[in-house]
Amino acid sequence: MSVRRVIDLLRSGEPKQAATVQGWVRTKRELKNFSFLEINDGSSLQGLQVVLDQKLPDYADLLRSLTTGASVSVSGVLVASQGNKQRIELHAETLQVWGESDSETYPLQKKRHSFEFLRTIAHLRSRTNTLGSVFRVRNTCSQAIHQFFQERDFLWVHTPIITGSDCEGAGEQLAVTHFNPQQIPLTEAGDVDYGQDFFGKPTYLTVSGQLEAEAMALAFSNVYTFGPTFRAENSNTSRHLAEFWMVEPEMAFCDLQGDMDLAEAFLKHIFKTVLDHCAEDMEFFNLRIDQSVLETAEQIVNQEFERISYGDAIATLTKANHPFEYPVEWGLDLQSEHERYLCEELFKKPVIVTDYPKEIKAFYMRLNDDGKTVAAMDVLVPKLGEIIGGAQREERLDVLEQRILAQGLSLEDYWWYLDLRRYGTVPHAGFGLGFERLVQFMTGMANIRDVIPFPRTPLNAEF
Amino acid sequence: MSVRRVIDLLRSGEPKQAATVQGWVRTKRELKNFSFLEINDGSSLQGLQVVLDQKLPDYADLLRSLTTGASVSVSGVLVASQGNKQRIELHAETLQVWGESDSETYPLQKKRHSFEFLRTIAHLRSRTNTLGSVFRVRNTCSQAIHQFFQERDFLWVHTPIITGSDCEGAGEQLAVTHFNPQQIPLTEAGDVDYGQDFFGKPTYLTVSGQLEAEAMALAFSNVYTFGPTFRAENSNTSRHLAEFWMVEPEMAFCDLQGDMDLAEAFLKHIFKTVLDHCAEDMEFFNLRIDQSVLETAEQIVNQEFERISYGDAIATLTKANHPFEYPVEWGLDLQSEHERYLCEELFKKPVIVTDYPKEIKAFYMRLNDDGKTVAAMDVLVPKLGEIIGGAQREERLDVLEQRILAQGLSLEDYWWYLDLRRYGTVPHAGFGLGFERLVQFMTGMANIRDVIPFPRTPLNAEF
């Protein structure tokens, strides 16, 4: 008895082969002398059609237990399918029901369910067509990311999740503590005595592994992170999660040009891999979720990204005969409507905007010679806007110190980050990609909570 | 100017080729008419020897700035090396110093440093031979893990880091909160009003993704997690971290046999991949860190693991003429000394112990027909003891409910986990591997803090 995955049988099963499949019943159709089951094992969107002849022992009992959601092992012989929905089907000779699924209470009946409802049964929703496709695409994306970097000799580095620095300023970060909230120890001065907490100081969940990744890049040349990051933003939107995965490559001896080249090659590689490996799932999204998904993916793969400076982008937007809600003015950040106009209306393809005013970007981005802009770059894509944010990092010790102080931060907090500029500093660059934003964009899913298995958002940490 | 990695030049650079390398100076040796630099870019343990002729412009100035830790780009021509330490060397024609490294203050001078000291400069320690090798091996391990599972059609699933259930009982878990510790809101009854916290209830950092992985396995058949997990144990030992990465595969339609087979194939694959891809680093560990490292790795790859039941192991240990510190008795857990005796003295190879008494194992492990033991398995290896712990899961709703209640846990807290047994339950199994324990075991490093870039332990969350 050789067990085979459904996808394998659908692709390469041949008539007259013996086969066993194991999976869950999606649908059952009873005819006069036989019945059809659709068995899904999660390996593909389409299930395998199984034919049950009424001559099977205990046929009537079997049929009763074969409700939607029941788990089975079926052995039999493959036969060319009569219908045109599938190439092959399995004629059952023996069938074992492992676990039944009470049709009175099983929440996933045949009717369509709203994604809101499915979130309340996140432990079962992966058994639906849409979520099944989402998580297969998510897996393929994640492997495409590793493959892209490993082929280029980047090391995957695991930067810390718990961090001692509240680097984005108070409030944005979730705290990690071992204190009993009803017995917070205080110092004599009445302050919280963090010396008694688990790590001996206030600690938070990281918002980015970039600074630590820079330290690793200055030893290994090319590294990337791929791990969870956190934001305590109280944003109940379709695009925010409190816990999400981030990808952050960092390259020594690399400038903004190299950074842009890498980001473009990276996106092209991921989209191409998913189009190649998840064709069925992507077609499903295009049909059922968002009819521009395939076109967008093809565009990312095949079109050279436009590159434009922030200054030129502002000039272009100012001249555009388009009613924007937010003002367009040098020094103000681009809003989503501006980003989308550039991609969707003006260039009709992905756009990389570079060299933003230093005031609207982070302190670690390299100051350009004009003294006003920094070597930042944002990759903008249609429908979404910014999908990647990156920069060449400030590698000059004196300039970096000035930028830290100018932002009201303390040099002491960045002692080790400054050390990287003190000892063997080099031009280096990197970027960050929010993994769930990528999967959301790729699949066309309306809510980001539906592209991560168990979403964490304000007032929600179920499962 | 084509930049090449040092490892590439060492392996396949040919005399007379033009080449550029970029990296950091490890050593400098000044002779009468020329000097030698060793340049390392993190791609390999060995650096590239660069020869600087005194006829180079500004030779004296250059030499002064080329101290240990300085960063450079060097272009020139490859020449067969005279010495026998390396095959090839680079004769410099142009050299650019990017960043100097003050030899008075740079903490990584040529002398040996203790690993304790290096931990205080974790942002720089990857530039040493040992830590460089550790993180290259770590990367190769992590890719071997993904490769192993992806080739077998397992999906990588991202289970939540923040969890609403304190599933290991109070105290072991770190809490996640957005409360101001000086203004914890209380209910009228005087309890903490968690409804006002970010997630609306008490939340913790996960200790395992297993339960959520089970939910995913019951949709996709085969899945694995590879992500950070956390323990608040106040253990200041060489084997404990508060933050570490864990690998947890979970397979539907799988029993304990299949679980053991997978675990054995998994370890063999990882060790083989590292021996193949990181030969130089592994030889370094064998020479400098632990002289049994290569032998142990070969043993894992080449020897079939012994399999023995807990009952037989107890009987064998009882008969052994060996002075154990801890008692050997049916019902007591195996201690490290027992595990090591089985591997090192008795079988002289890895051992899988199965079917432990239910009292010493978790509630979710499948109860055997004897009513006394569960279908658990631990993989034990020489020197370390347990490296993998796994089990077939209890798939029977009634038995699982009894086991939950018997451990004083509440059925309500496990409503969704029980649902997995209510709807289409199947035999399933999985295991967990502590990733840092694996890397520590593989490299022979004495302290687990030296196999993760930025370790988190009690009273320590630097960087």
Is B455 part of a structural domain of the chain?
Answer: no
- CA A369 remoteness from chain centre: 36
Q: Is residue A231 domain-shared with residue A335, that is, in the same domain?
A: yes
Is A114 part of a structural domain of the chain?
Answer: no
Exposure b/e, B235-260, CB count within 10 A at least 16 = b = eeeebbbbbbbbbbbbbbbbebeebb
Domain of residue B404, CATH code: 3.30.930.10
Q: Is residue B228 domain-shared with residue B93, that is, in the same domain?
A: no
Which of B181, B204, B227 is the endpoint of a domain? B204
Q: Which residues make Cβ contacts (< 8 Å) with residue A287, sequence separation at least 6?
A: none
Backbone angles phi, psi at A303, to 5 degrees: -100, 135
Is A234 part of a structural domain of the chain?
Answer: yes
Tens-digit pLDDT string for chain B (463 aa): 579 999 999 999 999 999 999 999 999 999 999 999 999 999 999 999 999 999 999 999 999 999 999 999 999 999 999 877 889 999 999 999 999 999 999 999 877 899 999 999 999 999 999 999 999 999 999 999 999 999 999 999 999 999 997 655 556 899 999 999 999 999 999 999 999 999 999 999 999 999 999 999 999 999 999 999 999 988 889 999 999 999 999 999 999 999 999 999 999 999 999 999 999 999 999 999 999 999 999 999 999 999 999 999 999 999 998 999 999 999 999 999 999 999 999 999 999 999 999 999 999 999 999 999 999 999 999 999 999 999 999 999 999 999 999 999 999 999 999 999 999 999 999 999 999 999 999 999 999 999 999 999 999 999 9
Q: What is the chain A residue with the closest CA to B421?
A: A99
Tell me the sheet residues that pair with B79.
B89
End-to-end Cα, chain B, rounded Å? 36
In whole angstroms, what is the distance from residue B450 CA to residue A57 CA?
62
Chain A residues within 8 A of B153 when measuring between CB atoms: 5, 7, 43
Whether the Cβ atoms of residue A34 and residue A53 lie closer than 8 Å to each other: yes
Q: Is residue B133 domain-shared with residue B187, that is, in the same domain?
A: no
Chain B residues within 8 A of A164 when measuring between CB atoms: 461-463
Asked if the Cβ–Cβ distance from A159 to B220 is below 8 Å, we say no
In whole angstroms, what is the distance from residue A5 CA to residue A81 CA?
18
User: Distances from the Cα of B98 to the Cαs of A160, A219, A421, B52, B89, in angstroms?
Assistant: 29, 14, 10, 17, 21
- pLDDT given at position A171: 64
Is B316 part of a structural domain of the chain?
Answer: yes
Report the largest interatomic distance among the alpha carbons of chain A, rounded to a whole angstrom.
Answer: 85
In whole angstroms, what is the distance from residue A14 CA to residue A11 CA?
9
Q: Is residue B220 domain-shared with residue B274, that is, in the same domain?
A: yes
Q: Which residues make Cβ contacts (< 8 Å) with residue A11, sequence separation at least 6?
A: none
**Alpha-carbon dihedral angle through residues B131, B73, A309, A214, given to the nearest 10 degrees:** 10
Q: Which residues make Cβ contacts (< 8 Å) with residue B108, sequence separation at least 6?
A: B68, B69, B121, B124, B125, B127, B128
With a cut of 70, which residues of chain A have pLDDT below it? 1, 166-171
Chain B residues within 8 A of A123 when measuring between CB atoms: 212, 215, 416-417, 419-420
Q: Under the phi-then-psi rule, with left for phi > 0, alpha for psi from -120 to 50, and beta for the rest, what region is A241? A: beta
Chain B residues within 8 A of A155 when measuring between CB atoms: 42, 135-136, 139
Which of B63, B83, B99 is the endpoint of a domain? B99
Q: Is residue B146 domain-shared with residue B268, that is, in the same domain?
A: yes
For residue B228, give the nearest of A136, A228, A461 by CB distance.
A228
Whether the Cβ atoms of residue A145 and residue A151 lie closer than 8 Å to each other: no
- pLDDT given at position B86: 86
Rg (CA), chain A: 27
In whole angstroms, what is the distance from residue B403 CA to residue A441 CA?
44
Q: Is residue B289 domain-shared with residue B401, that is, in the same domain?
A: yes
For residue A199, give the nearest of B101, B395, B460 by CB distance.
B460
| Distance in Å, alpha carbon of B338 to nearest chain A alpha carbon | 32
Q: Under the phi-then-psi rule, with left for phi > 0, alpha for psi from -120 to 50, and beta for the rest, what region is B225? A: beta
Chain B residues within 8 A of A261 when measuring between CB atoms: none
- pLDDT given at position B82: 84
Chain B residues within 8 A of A43 when measuring between CB atoms: 153, 220-221
Token look-up 């712990």 returns: B389
Q: What is the chain A residue with the closest CA to B418?
A: A123
Which of A84, A99, A114 is the endpoint of a domain? A99
CA-based angle B51:B55:B58, to the nearest 5? 95
Is A456 part of a structural domain of the chain?
Answer: no
Asked if the Cβ–Cβ distance from A43 to B454 is below 8 Å, we say no
Q: What is the pLDDT of residues A166-179, one digit of tens each?
A: 655 556 899 999 99
Domain of residue A11, CATH code: 2.40.50.140
Q: Is residue B180 domain-shared with residue B276, that is, in the same domain?
A: no
Q: Is residue B187 domain-shared with residue B52, that is, in the same domain?
A: no
Whether the Cβ atoms of residue B463 and residue A418 lie closer than 8 Å to each other: no
Asked if the Cβ–Cβ distance from A245 to B158 is below 8 Å, we say yes
Q: Is residue A306 domain-shared with residue A371, that is, in the same domain?
A: yes
Q: Which tokens in the block code for residue A258?
A: 């190299």
| Distance in Å, alpha carbon of B180 to nearest chain A alpha carbon | 9
Is A139 part of a structural domain of the chain?
Answer: yes
- pLDDT given at position B2: 79
Is B71 part of a structural domain of the chain?
Answer: yes
Asked if the Cβ–Cβ distance from A135 to B178 is below 8 Å, we say no
Q: Which residues make Cβ contacts (< 8 Å) with residue A178, sequence separation at least 6?
A: A197, A198, B174, B175, B232
In whole angstroms, what is the distance from residue B336 CA to residue B328 CA?
12
Q: Is residue A32 domain-shared with residue A138, that is, in the same domain?
A: no
Asked if the Cβ–Cβ distance from B100 to A424 is below 8 Å, we say yes
In whole angstroms, what is the distance from residue B155 CA to residue A453 CA?
12
- pLDDT given at position B338: 96
- pLDDT given at position B171: 64
Q: Which tokens in the block code for residue B196?
A: 């006002």
Chain A residues within 8 A of B175 when measuring between CB atoms: 176-179, 181
End-to-end Cα, chain A, rounded Å? 36
- pLDDT given at position A189: 96
| Distance in Å, alpha carbon of B407 to nearest chain A alpha carbon | 20
Which own/partner pairs from B311-316 qualify as long-range (CB within 8 Å, at least 24 positions apart)? B311/B355, B311/B373, B313/B338, B313/B342, B313/B353, B316/B342, B316/B346
Number of separate domains in chain A = 3
**Sign, CA torsion A250/A253/A256/A259:** negative
State the CB neighbour count (10 A cutoff) for residue A29.
Answer: 10
CA-based angle B22:B23:B26, to the nearest 5? 145
**Spatial CA neighbour of B155 closest among B266, B250, B277:** B250
State the CB neighbour count (10 A cutoff) for residue B101.
Answer: 21
In whole angstroms, what is the distance from residue A422 CA to residue A47 CA?
60
Exposure b/e, A114-130, CB count within 10 A at least 16 = b = eeeebbebbbbbbbbbb
Q: Is residue A181 domain-shared with residue A34, that is, in the same domain?
A: no
- pLDDT given at position B9: 96
Is A462 part of a structural domain of the chain?
Answer: no
> What global pTM score does this model have?
0.97
- pLDDT given at position A344: 94
Find the domain containing B433 and state its range.
127-161+207-450
Q: What is the pLDDT of residues A18-49, one digit of tens each?
A: 999 999 999 999 999 999 999 999 999 999 99
In whole angstroms, what is the distance from residue B259 CA to residue B264 CA?
9
In whole angstroms, what is the distance from residue B398 CA to residue A107 CA?
20
Asked if the Cβ–Cβ distance from B127 to A219 is below 8 Å, we say yes
Token look-up 């969707």 returns: A344
Check residue B451 and report its DSSP letter: S
Is the ipTM of this structure higher than 0.85?
Answer: yes
Q: Is residue B221 domain-shared with residue B198, that is, in the same domain?
A: no
Q: What is the chain B residue with the closest CA to A71?
A: B424
